[in-house]
Amino acid sequence: MNMIQAINSAMDVMMERDPTVVVMGEDVGFFGGVFRATAGLQQKYGKNRVFDTPITECGIIGVAVGMGAYGLRPVPEIQFADYIYPALDQLVSEAARLRYRSAGEFIAPMTVRSPFGGGIFGGQTHSQSPEGIFTHCSGIKTVIPSTPYDAKGLLIAAIEDNDPTIFFEPKRIYNGPFDGEYDTPATSWAGHADAQVPTGYYRIPLGKARIARAGGALTILCYGTMVHVVEHTVAMLGLDAEIVDLRSLVPLDIETIEASVKKTGRCLIVHEATRTSGFGAELLAQVQERCFHHLEAPIERVTGFDTPYPHSLEWAYFPGPVRIREAINKIMKD
């Protein structure tokens, strides 16, 4: 399966297992979603469980909060992460706090799916990575897969979870892994080991990172599309680096991160989101707090810039192999 098919399979499996699971969003029903991630679900489960909504993100999430409070497990889709901002009040003020302020009487077991990230010439309105905003809000879990296998297992775990979860899907790798070399032909998930996705039920626990590549010279923390860009860059350099795919930002598998950094003594953080207050800053702080006496060089970050995502300068903004290689060389020289 590619990532779209894996995500579709996860929703299919959960809708068949649990009649309280409903899918909703703009064009998710008859059309099957702008990226076809919900294709065929309305035909199989009917319009009461897979339905189109108006173009109103605050309304979509507001309705989902009410559904969750009354026993359903909604899986709303925000068509692009760039348009999730109108729903922030419902997500932060209502969904994230419902369990706390009701002393556990009500919950909001909703999983908000949304494609995010750049690398597709989507410009400033279709390329943003707003994950850092949600990691700041207590009560919300934030999950980002990097492979079809993980996408299905993590999405099933998110749907089963009793807390609201933001499930960001890196759209640049929907159809195949991307190594950051934008001027080379695109590759497919076909034949890739992480595309061997079981058709039935399985789950990957939230809050557990994956060692994408074991190594002893440098720890690289990344997630989503950046996992593949980092893997490619490390392979080109022939470096014995350990690549940690976080998978889940909240909850964060800090134990795996700490063990890796203490082993290697060096740490690089890579994400596509803007630098200031990006999730990399939190990672840097936690690594510094836990591993200071083990570090042999300053921690480096390779991120997007503090500017709207530029259409004409897409590949200058995107943290590609050139910028990652420069950061690695700096760390290894110290």
Q: In this structure, are residues 38 and 23 in contact, taking their beta carbons and an 8 Å threshold?
A: yes
Tell me the angle at which helices 3-17 and 148-160 cross, rounded to the nearest 10 degrees. 30
Q: Dihedral (C-alpha) 186, 190, 192, 197: value to the nearest 10 degrees? A: 130
User: Checking DSSP bridges between strand 267-274 and strand 300-304, what pairing results, if any?
Assistant: parallel
| Tokens 């068949």 belong to residue | 16
Alpha helices in 201-320 (DSSP H): 225-237, 254-264, 279-291, 314-317
228 is catalytic: no
Per-residue tokens: 89: 């009040």
CA atoms of 142 and 247, how far apart (whole Å): 9
Transcribe 4-38 into DSSP letters.
Answer: HHHHHHHHHHHHHH-TTEEEEETT-SSS--TTSTT
- Which candidate in 126, 228, 232, 271 is catalytic? 126
Rg (CA), the chain: 19
Torsions phi, psi of 18, nearest 5?
-135, 110
List, as one string, the DSSP characters of 102-139.
TTTS-----EEEEEE--SSS-GGGS----HHHHHTSTT
Residue 115: cis peptide before it, omega within 30 degrees of 0: no
Q: How far apart are CA 240 and CA 36, in angstroms?
A: 39
Report the catalytic residues. Answer: 126
